[in-house]
Structure 1
Amino acid sequence: MTLLIQEAQDEREDVQKKTFSKWINSQLAKKKLEPVTDLFFDLRDGSKLLALLEVLTEKPCKKEKGKMRVHHLNNVNNALQILRDYRIKLVNINNNDIVDGNPKLTLGLVWSIILHWQVQDVLKGIMKEAKQTNLEKTLLAWCRQMTQGYEGVDIRNFTTSWTDGLAFNALIHKFEPELFDYDTQLHKPPAQRLEYAFKLAHKYLNIDRLLDPEDVNTTYPDKKSIMTYVMCLFQVLPHDTVDMQFADPSYAPPLPRRQAEAARPARPSSFLSSGSGVDINTYSTILEEVLGWLADAGARLEAPDGDSDSLAHVKSRFKAHEAYMVELTERKADIFEVLDEGKRLLTEKVTAEEEAEIREQMRLLTLRWEELRQRAIETQTQLQSRLAQVQLSAMDALRSWLTGMENRISLTAPLGPDLSTLPAQAAEHAALAAEVGRWKPHVTELFDVLVVEEDGDDSEFANLEDHLSVLSERWNFTVSWSEQREQHIAQLQRHWPQLHEQLAQLKDWVDGQEARLKAMEAEPTTEQQALQQQGSQLQVGEQSRLVEIAPRTRCFNIEVLARISV
């Protein structure tokens, strides 16, 4: 199992290597420089790395032309210093790693370069305006915002959300709708959609083909490779504003005005017709209705949510509270409208008693609203923390279960060796498959959304994604193994009656042949012609019978096959 996971990681590393090489070559081509052919080897002497930085910085970079290791180390060190001058973080990367051709650290170095020069400068202003420091979240928000309303597109990450090709087509169609009919892509297979999107982007947007369909249309594609390509799209497509609310996969944008009015909970009736300039009696009525809504909203906030700590339950509570927060935002205008109306009434001629009543009502409304808002924020923080913890617990539980399941798989004997053992093996696998089936909804819930606590940093988010990636690979292997074994058992079960009959025939034939041999041994003959005739009869009978029966019985009775061989 560890070997299979390593193979999947190696596959993603190969895709990343290819994508990053294409990106570097697209930059070097701007100055007609020689491309890289083997990323890990070509960057070892530092010359290609410095050439790349000359293109990106548009400044000359000092190179040492010697071919000794010391010259290579100096060149790479110069490149790393240039990156530090541009305030690019290089974690645990030194010149020896690059000169030695360390795959992981070489890819990490190139990824840091791509992040900085591909969109960092473009995104800097947007991220500052949105008070956001996470580039990945900002890019995800833009993708989700731009593809809202496109059938079949639900971008939740930079891996599995892109495998069917629809997300790439939707992004291009959003800004270039005259190029093609999006609906026609819905009926095409994923590989064709991906190929079509990459061709369009290359032809009309001048984006190099950094990816091939097979790089994306896989169980768990490489995130950094897809992000690199999406960053190229972001750079050339309009991106004036990014609504960071879209970074949350559960966020639902406001409905169009007429739909929103139909779907919104009923507002206090007096607000629909009162307008401005109400008298003090009408104002009191409106205020009572708003205070009634605040009391109802407070009661809903205090409603018990049950003791279940299942991921599905906590996630449902989290999403329900998000809808609650949206409702609060919509009602905020009502609250301030009432307060403004109270201020207007105070400017008119009112008695001292009426003025005191209005001020007390405004004070009470402000107090109740602020209390509700603070409690809602605290509840949101608690739910987010609770969801993050439950999510981690669910990951630990899945990790533990997968380890046990992988051990069971490794100890599972091959089917057979005879028909008598197959029913027990089928029953054993049915129990295993049922257990896998019981875990499927939990795994789906776990992979559906990734939540970290508000005070969590970007590295924590990245680590969680990495852990989910590994768990996804292990889960996919377990499901695949279970399905394949189930299919094999079903195929054998369909042929059981025939195999039983053939095996019985084969046993009868072996018994007969053995009896003939014993009879020959009891009445030996020295006549050459008689011996040849007996041997010929045995050979013909044996060959015809084996051709008819033995291949179909395969290895289901070792004893019989051994007797045949003798």
Structure 2
Amino acid sequence: QRESTQKKTFTSWINSVLAKHTPPSVISDLYTDIQKGHLLLDLLEVLSGQHLPREKGFNTFQCRSNIENALTFLKSRSIEELARTLACTYNQPSLDCSSAVDSSPKASRSAKKSAKIKERWKISATKALLLWAKEQCSLHGSISVTDFKSSWRSGLPFLAIIYALRPGLVDIEKAKTRTNKENLKEAFRIAELELNIPRLLEPEDVDVMNPDEKSIMTYVAQFLQYSRNLPVSEEDMQGKVRDTVSWLTAQGKKLEKLLIDSESETYYQKYKEMMSFMEAFNQEKKAFLPVLSSKASVAELSEDQQQMREEWHKLVSQINEWKIKLDQMLPPPLDGIEAWLQEVEHLQADDLPDLQDPFKAMSLFREIIVIFKGLMDCFDSHLDTLQSFKNEDEKNMPLVLPEKLEEMKRRLFSNIQFTNSDTFLEYHCGLCSAITNEVMLKLNIWNMKYGTKESVESLLEDW
């Protein structure tokens, strides 16, 4: 039943997008039609507004080429932008200043190559979407949302979100007197007719003991997208930009004062104050995110918007520099482990080399494999050191906040240990691919008869 609901939901959503394609297209069977690649490219073209390269035929190799084109596009842009949009919208207190401010995810290699977005300090897109839904329902204290399952069964959360977006469309008090199915039917009807949100679900899909989480998330995400597209008058936007500039300037001054005041304090106290600053910063930032994430291009920026962008980048730099200095101030042997962690994470985050010369690619892959293996040879010793670290000085005072130690352990296990084999596999896969490309080059030039022993010996020597 759950698989059937998911298939129906995702098919409806995809078809609602494909209807906007020129020419329009439609999916009949989600599992088989997507495999051809053409409809997947149609979907991405509508979502991105870009024209994507494609093969016109439908044989196995052409379909595979189209799938690869789609995955390449997703890897380079779409998936990361979606995760960045959701995760940046509702950041929790974080010590990854770059991800807290400029929302640049420090994804591991496996995330980039397999679309597994593993951002070290960001909350997941699921939790971000849930927090957004909670905020929309917060106007009505009796409507509680704790998950994407049974919380939505009554239909009231859907109506509460519609009320938050368009207050005149919904009577919440009247809805509280109706049945679940009546509220669900009304919510889906209003969303489709008034908000132009496609009807991805039916009341019987949600009013069950354990509704499908992914299907509900997919539908709720349409409301989030609608909220981001609501028009804002130019006068209102200018006022919000000026308010944002003032807030950013105040944050910068607050940070400068904090750095001066904590200059002579211990690492423990500096880190604690950094956590307090970031917690307050992330909480206050929520109100300014719609302005900070506006899509205006550089050419369209007003003077106030340009100033806002400059203040934003200035604050980003200040926070990142602060974090770097704190990492360098860790007491030994933690400072060495932190440097090792950053080196491994940096190596994992780099894209695989894509060189046209297969011979150079082979050499580079061999070099990367040696470097990575050398780093991973230190894993066990760093793990033992971290687990046995005595976190107190001669006065029995803590040297490092427990949160920092837990963060380092989490990075060691989740970002490195569990992705170690995947990373090695990708390196060796890249090496094999480079060797294969070199072989193909050789085969392509061996397209004539070699009638003498010398010419054959020369060819084999080249091989």
TM-score scaled to structure 2, two decimals?
A: 0.42
TM-score scaled to structure 1, two decimals?
A: 0.35
Larger Rg belongs to: 1
